[in-house]
Structure 1
Amino acid sequence: MPKKYSAILKNIGLILVGNTIYALAVTAFILPSGLITGGTTGLALLFHNQFGIPIAVFVSVFNIAMFLLGALVLGKAFTLTTLISTFYYPFILGIFQKISLLQDMTSDQLLSAIYAGILIGFSIGIVIKAGASTGGMDIPPLVLNKKFGVSVSLAMYAFDFTILISQMLFASKEQVLYGILLVLIYTVVLDKVLILGQYRTQVKIISDKYDEINQMIIHHMDRGSTLIHAETGYLHDKNLVVLTIVTNRELPKLNKLVLSIDPKAFMIISQVNEVKGRGFTMDKSYR
């Protein structure tokens, strides 16, 4: 199968898995414990408690409305990536709501807030990493950003906060506090998921044997390197610094090999969140 189609199928799978986990979190932890939350689910809870509208029905109608808005304002690319979430999430949510076993996971609101936050953050992260959106309340911030330049994150927080506050009409103070905890947890988890597996280690090596170390990195470690012209601050000696990026697993090996070449080598090791380019997000190129 060509890489292009393989990648598309992989992303579709991730979108489906992400939305399934999201629906599971809502069904197993948010609804049974009476937790409040932000986003489309929070709006659905508000309308359910005020007007008796079934949650799955509201989510379906609202998602479709937001999908059409996004299609008009954000274009074709947005439409394709959000189509699956728009229709699949309310569908799987409706199915999960019919499974009574899922609604008896725990009666502890704190546990529900923690697990719901973890699952929701993880699920949204999966969908975003697949290059898609969960639809619903993800769309208005994107529209505001495109039309008026409003920060997406700022708009999302503003909408979530407004939705949480509006649910105070039917929720107790304790439920509001748990709702805030839930949002905080899934925000933190989401940030972690988005950079999951992308951490790399940047190593700067200062040594008189820079050429030998550089050749070792290229030929033995099979990693790229960059030579940076540098000058010492005290003696003003000019030298070349070897810069390379390796995975966390490769770091011990690199450290051992560098010290075997020059036991006095000066190494600066730091973690970077993400690396793009050949050898990481692109295939290696040998000349």
Structure 2
Amino acid sequence: MNQIKYYTSLVVGTLIISLSFTLLQGPNQIASGGLTGASLIISNILHLPSSMVLWGATVFLLLACSYFLGIQSLMKSIVGSLLIPLFVYLTNGMPILTNDPLLASIFGGLGVGIGLGIVFRAGGNTGGFTLIAQLLFQLKSVKHSTTVLCLDALVMIAGGIVFSPENALYALVGAFITRKTMDVIQGNKKGSKVAYIISSKEYEHEISNKVLHRLDRGITKLTGSGGYTNTERIIMMIVLDPSKVNELKNLVQSIDHQAFIIMSDATEVFGEGFNSAGLSLGKG
């Protein structure tokens, strides 16, 4: 049942993202970041269909990242990565909803935010720039958030050069609305979350390694023992952004389905990896 729910969310979310691009952002040349925005710019330069460029970029990224990272580390990215170019191709030619770039940026950003929120809430992802972020983290230890932010900024700047500065401003509006919509769909609030993961020693390395590399978060490890069994247990404390909560739960449960997870709000967080508002900036 969980697998059915996961793949249903993945299909519905990526379909909404694709429709937002095909019916709103693409026809109005709104490149609000991401691989879809990059494909829109490249297709305009090369005079090729966006779906063709998106297919080529997606397959290239998957092959390149699988070579450097291994196919196992990309398993959760493959389906989401391929669904978006597939749906963009299938929906190509549908009548566009508006020729007003402002409306396209607002409702396109809203649609992308809803789609991404559904996918992330289910614990999935859509590949794209997150694959590049994962690759750079492995090779050069560059933070995931830094890579995605820089790539999205480059896409919007490139859109301003290729299309017009006005289009870049519309893209910025769309990106802002996307982020806010994702927060609402995922139930995110300002601040951070503190997770306590109580697991067996045998799973300690695998859990901590995946939290460090996939979530880009640091871990504080404590030791303890079960009150009834007196069995030694490992306790991992993680401070993370609320948007990563579902991903953390799915990650831990995929390794140790008997792990005990306690989640609580952190009203104030100070130190490396967090800003003055207590929001995560990357690995802590």
Worse overlay, 91-100 or 123-132: 123-132
State the match for 1:152 in structure 2. 144
Residues 1-287 of structure 1: pairs in structure 2 closer than 5 A: 6-100=1-95, 103=96, 105-195=97-187
CA shift digits 1:49-82 (9 cap, x unpaired): 1111211011111111111233234444432212
Distance, in Å, in 2 between the alignment partners of 1:150 and 1:193 is 28
**CA contact under 8 A between 2:159 and 2:167: conserved in structure 1?**
no
Q: Any idea what SS the aligned residue of 2:27 has?
A: helix
Q: Any idea what SS the aligned residue of 1:35 has?
A: coil
- Is the alpha carbon distance of 1:155 and 1:128 closer, same or farther for their aligned partners in structure 2, counting shifts above 3 Å? same
The root-mean-square deviation of aligned C-alpha atoms, in Å, is 2.7
Q: Structure 1: which 5+ runs fail to align?
A: 1-5, 198-272
State the match for 1:222 in structure 2. none
Distance, in Å, in 1 between the alignment partners of 2:188 and 2:3 is 20
> What displacement does 1:149 show?
2.2
Percent identity (aligned): 22
**CA contact under 8 A between 1:22 and 1:123: conserved in structure 2?**
yes
Worse overlay, 173-182 or 83-92: 83-92
Letter in 2 for 1:126: I
CA shift digits 1:166-205 (9 cap, x unpaired): 12232122111101111111122223333369xxxxxxxx
Q: Report the structure number with the largest CA radius of gyration.
A: 1
- Is the alpha carbon distance of 1:176 and 1:67 closer, same or farther for their aligned partners in structure 2, counting shifts above 3 Å? same
Distance, in Å, in 2 between the alignment partners of 1:168 and 1:196 is 31
**CA contact under 8 A between 1:70 and 1:78: conserved in structure 2?**
no
- Is the alpha carbon distance of 1:146 and 1:125 closer, same or farther for their aligned partners in structure 2, counting shifts above 3 Å? farther
- Is the alpha carbon distance of 1:63 and 1:52 closer, same or farther for their aligned partners in structure 2, counting shifts above 3 Å? same
Letter in 1 for 2:10: I
Letter in 1 for 2:34: G
Distance, in Å, in 2 between the alignment partners of 1:132 and 1:75 is 18
Q: Structure 2: which 5+ runs fail to align?
A: 190-241, 261-284
Distance, in Å, in 2 between the alignment partners of 1:78 and 1:18 is 22
Distance, in Å, in 2 between the alignment partners of 1:169 and 1:119 is 25
Distance, in Å, in 1 between the alignment partners of 2:68 and 2:116 is 22
State the match for 1:235 in structure 2. none
Distance, in Å, in 2 between the alignment partners of 1:22 and 1:155 is 21
- Is the alpha carbon distance of 1:131 and 1:146 closer, same or farther for their aligned partners in structure 2, counting shifts above 3 Å? farther
Question: TM (normalized to structure 1)?
Answer: 0.62
- Is the alpha carbon distance of 1:8 and 1:74 closer, same or farther for their aligned partners in structure 2, counting shifts above 3 Å? farther
Question: TM (normalized to structure 2)?
Answer: 0.63
What is the aligned length? 199
Letter in 1 for 2:113: G
Distance, in Å, in 1 between the alignment partners of 2:145 and 2:188 is 20
Distance, in Å, in 2 between the alignment partners of 1:36 and 1:87 is 20
> What displacement does 1:27 show?
1.1
Distance, in Å, in 2 between the alignment partners of 1:45 and 1:88 is 17
Distance, in Å, in 2 between the alignment partners of 1:133 and 1:32 is 25
